[in-house]
């Protein structure tokens, strides 16, 4: 069974400078897709840490029904951890945080223990956790709110898993972790978003590349608005 909300969570990864962020918001506002506060959708964007404050300001200024997420969080609390951004810092700006994206696992060697610690830190500070898994055998720590199934071969390749297969795999995960909400990520676009969210167990999507372009992002929101 599904929840009553559809999630669109845009992951900008390590893209956009300050001007790009401002331009993205200007264009998004002119597309006018976020003016109605329909209770059936939750639209989130995850900029880099240093653009969270600017994004928050632009959201408030333009009265957008758009939430913010961080792309990562420190496994430690505040203190002598050079370079880290703690959950207590993030909670002033973001409602959500991604944890365990396959790029973090691959390039930064983040393992299950470290990722559990990150989830713990995020939950202690009241952040909602979007936990990414590449398959249905990966352990999902306690406290995770949203699980994003993202097959590695589908990320940034233009090839998606089939909606039916994604739904079946998420069905297995849901048996193990019934309290989580489930979304799909990997080459999601405005053209395929509906085929995913119309599956029984899929409550939303995590687009990367398609979220960078405000027109493409708006088209995904419009596709959901018209459901
Ligand atoms: P993609 O990225 O939409 O560009 O495939 C998805 C992700 O990595 O979250």
- For residue 72, give the nearest of 31, 14, 28 by alpha carbon: 14
pLDDT for residue 39: 67
pLDDT for residue 37: 59
**Residue 156 CA, ligand 1 centroid: distance in Å:** 5
User: Is pLDDT at 2 greater than 90 in this prediction?
Assistant: no
Residue positions annotated with a catalytic role? 101, 150
pLDDT digits (tens, 9 = 90+) for 66-87: 999 999 999 999 999 999 999 9
Output the average pLDDT for the chain: 96
**Residue 64 CA, ligand 1 centroid: distance in Å:** 24
pLDDT for residue 40: 86
**Residue 210 CA, ligand 1 centroid: distance in Å:** 8
Structure tokens at 125: 């500070």
Closest atom, ligand 1, to C-alpha of 206: 9
**Residue 15 CA, ligand 1 centroid: distance in Å:** 13
Lowest mean pLDDT among 31-40, 100-109, 144-153, 179-188: 31-40
**Residue 226 CA, ligand 1 centroid: distance in Å:** 23
Ligand 1, atom 2: closest residue by C-alpha: 208
* Residue in 8, 11, 69, 159 to alter for ligand 1 test, most ligand atoms within 8 A of Cβ: 11
Per-residue pLDDT band for 1 (boundaries 50, 70, 90) equals low
The structure's pTM equals 0.97
pLDDT for residue 34: 85
- For residue 29, give the nearest of 71, 73, 61, 76 by alpha carbon: 61
DSSP code per residue over 89-138: HHTTT-SEEEE--HHHHHHS---HHHHHHHHHHHHHTTPEEEEEESSSSS
pLDDT for residue 227: 81
Ligand 1, atom 7: closest residue by C-alpha: 208
Ligand 1, atom 6: closest residue by C-alpha: 208
Per-residue pLDDT band for 198 (boundaries 50, 70, 90) equals very high
Ligand 1, atom 1: closest residue by C-alpha: 208
- Provide residues with CB under 6 Å of ligand 1: 11, 150, 155-156, 185-188, 206-210
Size (the chain), residues = 227
Residue 166, classed as helix, strand or coil, is helix
pLDDT digits (tens, 9 = 90+) for 159-196: 999 999 999 999 999 999 999 999 999 999 999 999 99
């Amino acid at each position: 069974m599904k929840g009553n909300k559809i999630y669109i969570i845009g992951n900008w990864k390590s893209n956009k400078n300050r001007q790009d962020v401002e331009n993205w918001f200007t264009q998004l506002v002119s597309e006018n897709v976020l003016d109605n506060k329909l209770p059936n959708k939750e639209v989130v964007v995850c900029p880099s840490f240093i653009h969270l404050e600017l994004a928050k300001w632009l959201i408030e200024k333009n009265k957008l029904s758009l939430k913010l997420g961080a792309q990562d969080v420190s496994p430690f609390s505040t203190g002598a951890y050079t370079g880290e951004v703690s959950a207590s810092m993030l909670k002033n700006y973001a409602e959500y945080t991604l944890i365990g994206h396959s790029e973090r696992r691959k390039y930064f060697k983040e393992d299950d223990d470290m990722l559990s610690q990150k989830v713990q830190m995020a939950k202690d500070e009241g952040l909602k956790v979007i936990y990414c898994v590449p398959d249905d055998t990966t352990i999902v720590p306690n406290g995770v709110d949203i699980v994003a199934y993202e097959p590695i071969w589908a990320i940034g390749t233009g090839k998606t898993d089939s909606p039916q297969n994604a739904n079946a795999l998420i069905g297995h995960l849901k048996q193990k972790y019934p309290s989580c909400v489930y979304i799909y990520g990997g080459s999601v676009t405005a053209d395929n978003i509906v085929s995913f969210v119309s599956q029984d167990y899929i409550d939303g999507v995590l687009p990367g590349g398609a979220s960078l372009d405000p027109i493409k992002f708006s088209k995904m929101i419009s596709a959901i608005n018209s459901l």
